[in-house]
Structure 1
Amino acid sequence: MNRIARQWRTLFPRHGSVARPSDRLQGGLLAVVLLLALAALPVAAAFGSETFARQQGQSARQLGERTLVTATLLADGPEITVNGRSGVVGTGEPTEAAWVLPDGTRRVGQVVADEGTLKGHVLPIWVDAAGHPVDPPLSAAAVVIDAAGVGLGLWLAALILLAVGYRLSVFFLDRLRYARWQQEWFAGQDRKTRS
Protein backbone atom coordinates (compact mmCIF):
# COMPACT_ATOMS: atom_id res chain seq x y z
CA MET A 1 0.00 0.00 0.00
CA ASN A 2 2.90 2.33 0.78
CA ARG A 3 4.27 1.97 -2.78
CA ILE A 4 0.86 2.81 -4.28
CA ALA A 5 0.54 5.86 -2.03
CA ARG A 6 4.02 7.01 -3.05
CA GLN A 7 3.14 6.62 -6.76
CA TRP A 8 -0.10 8.53 -6.18
CA ARG A 9 1.81 11.37 -4.49
CA THR A 10 4.27 11.36 -7.40
CA LEU A 11 1.43 11.67 -9.84
CA PHE A 12 -0.51 14.27 -7.82
CA PRO A 13 1.70 16.19 -5.37
CA ARG A 14 -0.44 17.95 -2.76
CA HIS A 15 -0.77 21.70 -2.74
CA GLY A 16 1.80 23.18 -0.40
CA SER A 17 3.96 20.06 -0.45
CA VAL A 18 7.74 20.24 -0.58
CA ALA A 19 7.72 18.76 -4.08
CA ARG A 20 10.42 20.25 -6.27
CA PRO A 21 9.72 21.31 -9.87
CA SER A 22 11.48 18.13 -11.01
CA ASP A 23 9.07 16.10 -8.84
CA ARG A 24 6.12 17.82 -10.49
CA LEU A 25 7.69 17.18 -13.91
CA GLN A 26 8.08 13.51 -13.01
CA GLY A 27 4.41 13.39 -11.96
CA GLY A 28 3.41 14.98 -15.26
CA LEU A 29 5.52 12.47 -17.19
CA LEU A 30 3.87 9.61 -15.32
CA ALA A 31 0.42 10.99 -16.18
CA VAL A 32 1.39 11.27 -19.87
CA VAL A 33 2.77 7.72 -19.87
CA LEU A 34 -0.45 6.38 -18.34
CA LEU A 35 -2.58 8.26 -20.87
CA LEU A 36 -0.44 7.02 -23.76
CA ALA A 37 -0.69 3.45 -22.45
CA LEU A 38 -4.47 3.74 -22.40
CA ALA A 39 -4.49 5.33 -25.87
CA ALA A 40 -2.31 2.51 -27.23
CA LEU A 41 -4.90 -0.10 -26.26
CA PRO A 42 -7.54 0.77 -28.91
CA VAL A 43 -4.81 1.24 -31.54
CA ALA A 44 -3.43 -2.24 -30.81
CA ALA A 45 -6.98 -3.64 -30.81
CA ALA A 46 -7.59 -2.07 -34.23
CA PHE A 47 -4.46 -3.75 -35.62
CA GLY A 48 -5.61 -7.07 -34.11
CA SER A 49 -9.06 -6.59 -35.63
CA GLU A 50 -7.55 -5.82 -39.04
CA THR A 51 -5.39 -8.95 -38.80
CA PHE A 52 -8.48 -10.99 -37.89
CA ALA A 53 -10.49 -9.68 -40.84
CA ARG A 54 -7.63 -10.21 -43.32
CA GLN A 55 -6.82 -13.73 -42.12
CA GLN A 56 -10.48 -14.72 -41.88
CA GLY A 57 -10.86 -13.86 -45.57
CA GLN A 58 -7.67 -15.77 -46.34
CA SER A 59 -8.96 -18.79 -44.39
CA ALA A 60 -12.31 -18.74 -46.20
CA ARG A 61 -10.55 -18.45 -49.58
CA GLN A 62 -8.22 -21.35 -48.75
CA LEU A 63 -11.11 -23.52 -47.54
CA GLY A 64 -12.87 -22.84 -50.86
CA GLU A 65 -9.80 -23.65 -52.96
CA ARG A 66 -8.50 -26.71 -51.08
CA THR A 67 -10.03 -30.12 -50.55
CA LEU A 68 -9.28 -32.78 -47.95
CA VAL A 69 -8.65 -36.22 -49.53
CA THR A 70 -7.20 -39.52 -48.32
CA ALA A 71 -3.81 -40.62 -49.65
CA THR A 72 -2.50 -44.18 -49.56
CA LEU A 73 1.26 -44.68 -49.26
CA LEU A 74 2.78 -46.65 -52.16
CA ALA A 75 6.10 -47.07 -50.30
CA ASP A 76 7.25 -47.24 -46.73
CA GLY A 77 7.80 -43.90 -45.02
CA PRO A 78 11.19 -42.88 -43.63
CA GLU A 79 12.76 -45.08 -41.01
CA ILE A 80 12.41 -44.10 -37.37
CA THR A 81 15.40 -42.14 -36.15
CA VAL A 82 16.08 -41.17 -32.58
CA ASN A 83 18.22 -38.23 -31.64
CA GLY A 84 20.81 -39.44 -29.14
CA ARG A 85 20.63 -36.36 -26.96
CA SER A 86 16.93 -35.62 -26.68
CA GLY A 87 15.37 -38.91 -27.76
CA VAL A 88 12.98 -36.97 -29.99
CA VAL A 89 11.94 -38.60 -33.21
CA GLY A 90 12.51 -36.63 -36.39
CA THR A 91 9.81 -35.25 -38.66
CA GLY A 92 8.30 -36.79 -41.76
CA GLU A 93 9.74 -36.89 -45.27
CA PRO A 94 8.24 -36.95 -48.78
CA THR A 95 7.02 -40.43 -49.72
CA GLU A 96 5.29 -41.78 -52.84
CA ALA A 97 1.49 -41.97 -52.43
CA ALA A 98 -1.73 -42.11 -54.43
CA TRP A 99 -5.02 -40.28 -53.84
CA VAL A 100 -8.35 -39.86 -55.55
CA LEU A 101 -9.75 -36.37 -56.25
CA PRO A 102 -13.42 -35.54 -55.64
CA ASP A 103 -14.08 -35.88 -59.41
CA GLY A 104 -12.73 -39.46 -59.36
CA THR A 105 -9.33 -38.72 -60.93
CA ARG A 106 -6.46 -40.74 -59.45
CA ARG A 107 -3.20 -38.91 -58.72
CA VAL A 108 0.24 -40.14 -57.71
CA GLY A 109 2.85 -37.93 -56.08
CA GLN A 110 4.90 -37.12 -53.02
CA VAL A 111 3.25 -36.54 -49.63
CA VAL A 112 4.88 -36.03 -46.25
CA ALA A 113 4.73 -39.29 -44.30
CA ASP A 114 5.70 -39.65 -40.66
CA GLU A 115 8.63 -41.81 -39.72
CA GLY A 116 7.78 -45.47 -39.32
CA THR A 117 4.67 -45.46 -41.53
CA LEU A 118 4.35 -48.47 -43.83
CA LYS A 119 3.19 -49.03 -47.39
CA GLY A 120 -0.63 -49.02 -47.52
CA HIS A 121 -1.02 -46.56 -44.64
CA VAL A 122 -3.71 -43.95 -45.31
CA LEU A 123 -3.40 -40.33 -44.27
CA PRO A 124 -5.44 -37.19 -44.90
CA ILE A 125 -3.91 -34.55 -47.17
CA TRP A 126 -5.10 -31.23 -48.57
CA VAL A 127 -4.99 -30.70 -52.33
CA ASP A 128 -5.55 -27.64 -54.50
CA ALA A 129 -7.93 -27.41 -57.48
CA ALA A 130 -5.32 -29.07 -59.73
CA GLY A 131 -4.97 -31.99 -57.30
CA HIS A 132 -1.50 -31.12 -56.01
CA PRO A 133 -0.76 -31.49 -52.27
CA VAL A 134 -0.75 -28.17 -50.39
CA ASP A 135 -0.52 -26.99 -46.81
CA PRO A 136 -3.71 -27.19 -44.71
CA PRO A 137 -5.88 -24.07 -44.84
CA LEU A 138 -5.66 -21.50 -42.09
CA SER A 139 -7.98 -22.63 -39.30
CA ALA A 140 -10.46 -20.43 -37.45
CA ALA A 141 -8.53 -21.00 -34.20
CA ALA A 142 -5.27 -19.89 -35.85
CA VAL A 143 -6.99 -16.74 -37.11
CA VAL A 144 -8.17 -15.84 -33.59
CA ILE A 145 -4.79 -16.65 -32.03
CA ASP A 146 -2.90 -14.60 -34.64
CA ALA A 147 -5.22 -11.61 -34.24
CA ALA A 148 -5.01 -11.71 -30.43
CA GLY A 149 -1.23 -12.13 -30.62
CA VAL A 150 -0.84 -9.12 -32.90
CA GLY A 151 -3.05 -6.89 -30.76
CA LEU A 152 -1.57 -7.97 -27.46
CA GLY A 153 1.99 -7.93 -28.81
CA LEU A 154 1.65 -4.38 -30.10
CA TRP A 155 0.15 -3.16 -26.84
CA LEU A 156 2.86 -4.86 -24.77
CA ALA A 157 5.54 -3.37 -27.05
CA ALA A 158 4.02 0.08 -26.53
CA LEU A 159 3.94 -0.48 -22.75
CA ILE A 160 7.57 -1.56 -22.73
CA LEU A 161 8.65 1.47 -24.76
CA LEU A 162 6.68 3.80 -22.50
CA ALA A 163 8.08 2.17 -19.35
CA VAL A 164 11.65 2.38 -20.63
CA GLY A 165 11.16 6.01 -21.65
CA TYR A 166 9.69 6.86 -18.26
CA ARG A 167 12.47 5.08 -16.35
CA LEU A 168 15.14 6.87 -18.43
CA SER A 169 13.44 10.20 -17.74
CA VAL A 170 13.36 9.45 -14.00
CA PHE A 171 17.02 8.41 -14.14
CA PHE A 172 18.02 11.74 -15.70
CA LEU A 173 15.78 13.70 -13.34
CA ASP A 174 17.39 11.88 -10.40
CA ARG A 175 20.85 12.75 -11.75
CA LEU A 176 19.82 16.41 -11.96
CA ARG A 177 18.36 16.33 -8.44
CA TYR A 178 21.50 14.69 -7.01
CA ALA A 179 23.74 17.22 -8.80
CA ARG A 180 21.65 20.08 -7.45
CA TRP A 181 21.65 18.60 -3.95
CA GLN A 182 25.44 18.21 -4.13
CA GLN A 183 25.87 21.86 -5.23
CA GLU A 184 23.68 23.02 -2.34
CA TRP A 185 25.63 20.84 0.08
CA PHE A 186 28.99 22.20 -1.11
CA ALA A 187 27.63 25.75 -0.92
CA GLY A 188 26.56 25.06 2.69
CA GLN A 189 30.00 23.65 3.52
CA ASP A 190 31.70 26.72 2.05
CA ARG A 191 29.58 28.98 4.27
CA LYS A 192 30.48 26.96 7.34
CA THR A 193 34.23 27.09 6.62
CA ARG A 194 34.10 30.88 6.08
CA SER A 195 32.41 31.54 9.40
Structure 2
Amino acid sequence: MPASPTYLLRLWRRVRIGSNPLARCWDRIEAAALLGVVLLSLFAVPVTAALGSETYAENIKVSRDEMRDRRQTTAVLLADAPRENLGEPGVSGGGSARVWAQWVLQDGTKRTGNVVAKIGANAGSAMSIWVDERGDLAVAPTTTRDAVGRAVSAALLAWLAVAGGLSAVFWLLRKGLDQLRYAQWTREWEHIGRDPSWS
Protein backbone atom coordinates (compact mmCIF):
# COMPACT_ATOMS: atom_id res chain seq x y z
CA MET A 1 0.00 0.00 0.00
CA PRO A 2 1.59 3.34 -1.07
CA ALA A 3 2.22 5.96 1.60
CA SER A 4 -0.33 8.79 1.70
CA PRO A 5 0.81 12.36 0.86
CA THR A 6 0.00 13.41 4.44
CA TYR A 7 2.28 10.70 5.86
CA LEU A 8 5.11 11.67 3.50
CA LEU A 9 4.68 15.34 4.43
CA ARG A 10 4.86 14.50 8.15
CA LEU A 11 7.97 12.38 7.55
CA TRP A 12 9.59 15.21 5.57
CA ARG A 13 8.86 17.69 8.36
CA ARG A 14 10.36 15.28 10.87
CA VAL A 15 13.53 14.70 8.90
CA ARG A 16 14.04 18.23 7.53
CA ILE A 17 16.47 20.31 9.54
CA GLY A 18 15.06 23.78 9.11
CA SER A 19 15.00 27.02 11.05
CA ASN A 20 11.84 26.33 13.05
CA PRO A 21 12.19 28.53 16.16
CA LEU A 22 10.27 25.96 18.25
CA ALA A 23 12.73 23.17 17.43
CA ARG A 24 15.14 22.52 20.27
CA CYS A 25 18.75 21.42 19.98
CA TRP A 26 17.69 17.84 20.83
CA ASP A 27 15.07 17.89 18.06
CA ARG A 28 17.67 18.95 15.50
CA ILE A 29 20.08 16.22 16.62
CA GLU A 30 17.32 13.62 16.35
CA ALA A 31 16.32 14.86 12.88
CA ALA A 32 19.95 14.80 11.72
CA ALA A 33 20.38 11.24 13.12
CA LEU A 34 17.21 10.03 11.38
CA LEU A 35 18.35 11.56 8.10
CA GLY A 36 21.73 9.86 8.57
CA VAL A 37 20.06 6.48 9.16
CA VAL A 38 17.96 6.84 5.99
CA LEU A 39 20.93 7.93 3.86
CA LEU A 40 23.26 5.22 5.20
CA SER A 41 20.56 2.57 4.66
CA LEU A 42 20.19 3.73 1.05
CA PHE A 43 23.97 3.79 0.60
CA ALA A 44 24.12 0.20 1.89
CA VAL A 45 21.93 -1.02 -0.99
CA PRO A 46 24.63 -1.00 -3.70
CA VAL A 47 27.23 -2.27 -1.20
CA THR A 48 25.12 -5.28 -0.21
CA ALA A 49 24.16 -5.80 -3.87
CA ALA A 50 27.90 -6.08 -4.65
CA LEU A 51 28.19 -8.63 -1.84
CA GLY A 52 25.34 -10.61 -3.40
CA SER A 53 27.02 -10.44 -6.80
CA GLU A 54 30.29 -11.76 -5.35
CA THR A 55 28.42 -14.54 -3.53
CA TYR A 56 26.77 -15.50 -6.82
CA ALA A 57 30.13 -15.61 -8.63
CA GLU A 58 31.66 -17.80 -5.89
CA ASN A 59 28.71 -20.21 -5.98
CA ILE A 60 28.86 -20.44 -9.78
CA LYS A 61 32.55 -21.37 -9.48
CA VAL A 62 31.66 -24.00 -6.85
CA SER A 63 28.93 -25.29 -9.17
CA ARG A 64 31.38 -25.69 -12.06
CA ASP A 65 33.88 -27.50 -9.84
CA GLU A 66 31.20 -29.83 -8.49
CA MET A 67 29.82 -30.52 -11.97
CA ARG A 68 33.33 -31.45 -13.11
CA ASP A 69 34.00 -33.74 -10.13
CA ARG A 70 30.59 -35.42 -9.84
CA ARG A 71 28.35 -37.38 -12.12
CA GLN A 72 24.85 -38.78 -11.98
CA THR A 73 24.27 -42.52 -12.07
CA THR A 74 21.53 -45.03 -11.27
CA ALA A 75 21.28 -46.96 -8.02
CA VAL A 76 19.09 -50.02 -7.44
CA LEU A 77 17.49 -50.48 -4.03
CA LEU A 78 18.51 -53.70 -2.26
CA ALA A 79 15.73 -53.45 0.33
CA ASP A 80 12.23 -52.05 0.65
CA ALA A 81 11.92 -48.53 1.99
CA PRO A 82 9.66 -48.12 5.06
CA ARG A 83 5.96 -47.82 4.18
CA GLU A 84 5.39 -45.03 6.67
CA ASN A 85 7.54 -42.34 8.19
CA LEU A 86 7.05 -43.13 11.88
CA GLY A 87 10.27 -41.57 13.09
CA GLU A 88 12.14 -44.86 13.30
CA PRO A 89 15.96 -44.78 12.95
CA GLY A 90 17.13 -44.25 9.38
CA VAL A 91 13.96 -42.45 8.34
CA SER A 92 14.30 -38.77 7.56
CA GLY A 93 11.57 -36.16 7.23
CA GLY A 94 9.81 -35.17 4.03
CA GLY A 95 8.64 -38.65 2.98
CA SER A 96 12.08 -40.17 2.46
CA ALA A 97 14.29 -42.74 4.18
CA ARG A 98 17.81 -44.14 4.04
CA VAL A 99 17.83 -47.46 2.18
CA TRP A 100 20.68 -49.80 1.22
CA ALA A 101 21.33 -49.68 -2.55
CA GLN A 102 23.87 -50.69 -5.18
CA TRP A 103 25.28 -48.81 -8.18
CA VAL A 104 27.82 -49.61 -10.89
CA LEU A 105 30.76 -47.33 -11.70
CA GLN A 106 32.00 -46.60 -15.23
CA ASP A 107 34.75 -49.25 -14.90
CA GLY A 108 32.15 -51.88 -13.92
CA THR A 109 32.94 -51.82 -10.20
CA LYS A 110 29.90 -52.28 -7.97
CA ARG A 111 29.38 -50.08 -4.94
CA THR A 112 26.82 -50.20 -2.15
CA GLY A 113 25.64 -47.62 0.34
CA ASN A 114 22.70 -45.93 2.02
CA VAL A 115 20.80 -43.71 -0.38
CA VAL A 116 17.80 -41.44 0.24
CA ALA A 117 14.72 -43.13 -1.25
CA LYS A 118 11.02 -42.31 -1.22
CA ILE A 119 8.87 -43.84 1.48
CA GLY A 120 7.31 -47.06 0.20
CA ALA A 121 9.85 -47.68 -2.62
CA ASN A 122 10.33 -51.41 -3.32
CA ALA A 123 13.56 -53.36 -3.53
CA GLY A 124 14.77 -53.40 -7.15
CA SER A 125 13.54 -49.85 -7.78
CA ALA A 126 15.99 -47.64 -9.69
CA MET A 127 16.78 -44.08 -8.65
CA SER A 128 19.22 -41.39 -9.68
CA ILE A 129 22.13 -40.59 -7.36
CA TRP A 130 25.25 -38.42 -7.53
CA VAL A 131 28.74 -39.87 -7.01
CA ASP A 132 32.17 -38.25 -6.79
CA GLU A 133 35.34 -39.12 -8.72
CA ARG A 134 35.95 -42.15 -6.48
CA GLY A 135 32.41 -43.43 -6.98
CA ASP A 136 31.31 -42.57 -3.44
CA LEU A 137 27.91 -41.03 -2.75
CA ALA A 138 27.87 -37.25 -3.02
CA VAL A 139 25.28 -34.51 -2.70
CA ALA A 140 23.85 -33.02 -5.87
CA PRO A 141 26.04 -30.21 -7.25
CA THR A 142 25.13 -26.58 -6.72
CA THR A 143 22.80 -25.33 -9.44
CA THR A 144 22.43 -21.85 -10.93
CA ARG A 145 19.16 -21.55 -9.03
CA ASP A 146 20.97 -22.38 -5.77
CA ALA A 147 23.60 -19.74 -6.58
CA VAL A 148 20.94 -17.10 -7.20
CA GLY A 149 19.09 -17.97 -3.99
CA ARG A 150 22.24 -17.81 -1.88
CA ALA A 151 23.30 -14.51 -3.47
CA VAL A 152 19.91 -12.89 -2.86
CA SER A 153 19.84 -14.21 0.70
CA ALA A 154 23.35 -12.93 1.42
CA ALA A 155 22.58 -9.46 0.03
CA LEU A 156 19.23 -9.21 1.82
CA LEU A 157 20.57 -10.42 5.17
CA ALA A 158 23.54 -8.04 4.94
CA TRP A 159 21.26 -5.07 4.21
CA LEU A 160 18.87 -6.04 7.01
CA ALA A 161 21.83 -6.29 9.40
CA VAL A 162 23.02 -2.81 8.41
CA ALA A 163 19.53 -1.27 8.55
CA GLY A 164 18.77 -3.06 11.82
CA GLY A 165 22.04 -1.90 13.39
CA LEU A 166 21.47 1.69 12.30
CA SER A 167 17.90 1.58 13.60
CA ALA A 168 19.11 0.25 16.96
CA VAL A 169 21.68 3.04 17.22
CA PHE A 170 19.01 5.63 16.35
CA TRP A 171 16.62 4.12 18.92
CA LEU A 172 19.29 4.31 21.65
CA LEU A 173 20.14 7.88 20.66
CA ARG A 174 16.48 8.85 20.74
CA LYS A 175 16.05 7.29 24.20
CA GLY A 176 19.02 9.32 25.42
CA LEU A 177 17.65 12.50 23.86
CA ASP A 178 14.26 11.82 25.48
CA GLN A 179 15.97 11.67 28.86
CA LEU A 180 17.64 15.01 28.18
CA ARG A 181 14.32 16.51 27.07
CA TYR A 182 12.53 15.24 30.18
CA ALA A 183 15.29 16.66 32.39
CA GLN A 184 15.02 20.02 30.63
CA TRP A 185 11.23 20.07 31.04
CA THR A 186 11.59 19.22 34.73
CA ARG A 187 14.00 22.15 35.22
CA GLU A 188 11.66 24.47 33.34
CA TRP A 189 8.66 23.41 35.47
CA GLU A 190 10.68 23.95 38.64
CA HIS A 191 11.65 27.40 37.38
CA ILE A 192 8.01 28.20 36.65
CA GLY A 193 7.06 27.05 40.16
CA ARG A 194 9.60 29.44 41.68
CA ASP A 195 8.68 32.35 39.43
CA PRO A 196 6.12 34.52 41.31
CA SER A 197 4.83 35.98 38.06
CA TRP A 198 3.23 32.59 37.25
CA SER A 199 1.23 32.41 40.48
Which TM-score band (shorter chain)?
0.7 to 0.9
Aligned to 1:165: 169
Q: Which of 84, 107, 110 is residue 107 of structure 1 equivalent to?
A: 110
SS at match of 2:84: coil
Q: Partners of 2:83 and 2:121 in 1: how far apart?
A: 8
Q: 1:185 to 1:117 in 2, by over 3 A?
A: same
SS at match of 1:99: strand
CA shift, 1:89, in A, is 6.5
CA shift, 1:4, in A, is 2.9
Aligned to 2:153: 149
Q: Which of 128, 137, 146 is residue 132 of structure 2 equivalent to?
A: 128
Q: Partners of 1:194 and 1:9 in 2: how far apart?
A: 33
Q: Which of 166, 187, 193 is residue 189 of structure 1 equivalent to?
A: 193
Aligned to 2:97: 92
2:55 matched to 1:51?
yes
CA contact (8 A) 2:96 2:116 kept: no
**Deviations 1:106-132 (CA, angstroms, capped at 9, x unpaired):** 423112333321111000000111111
- 1:132 maps to a residue whose letter is D
SS at match of 2:195: helix
2:123 matched to 1:119?
yes
- 1:112 maps to a residue whose letter is V
CA contact (8 A) 1:92 1:113 kept: yes
Q: Partners of 1:113 and 1:90 in 2: how far apart?
A: 9
- 1:142 maps to a residue whose letter is D
Correspondence 1:60-99 to 2 at 5 A: 60-82=64-86, 91-95=96-100, 97-99=101-103
Cα-Cα RMSD: 2.1
Q: Partners of 1:3 and 1:175 in 2: how far apart?
A: 27
Size of the aligned set, in residue pairs, is 189
CA contact (8 A) 2:17 2:32 kept: no
CA contact (8 A) 1:77 1:117 kept: yes
Aligned to 2:40: 36
Q: Which runs of 5+ in 1 are unaligned?
A: none
Q: 1:16 to 1:159 in 2, by over 3 A?
A: closer
**Percent of aligned pairs with the same amino acid:** 34
Q: Partners of 2:118 and 2:176 in 1: how far apart?
A: 58
CA contact (8 A) 2:44 2:162 kept: yes
Q: Which runs of 5+ in 2 are unaligned?
A: 88-92
Q: Partners of 1:150 and 1:194 in 2: how far apart?
A: 61
TM-score (norm 1): 0.87
Q: Partners of 1:63 and 1:57 in 2: how far apart?
A: 10
TM-score (norm 2): 0.85
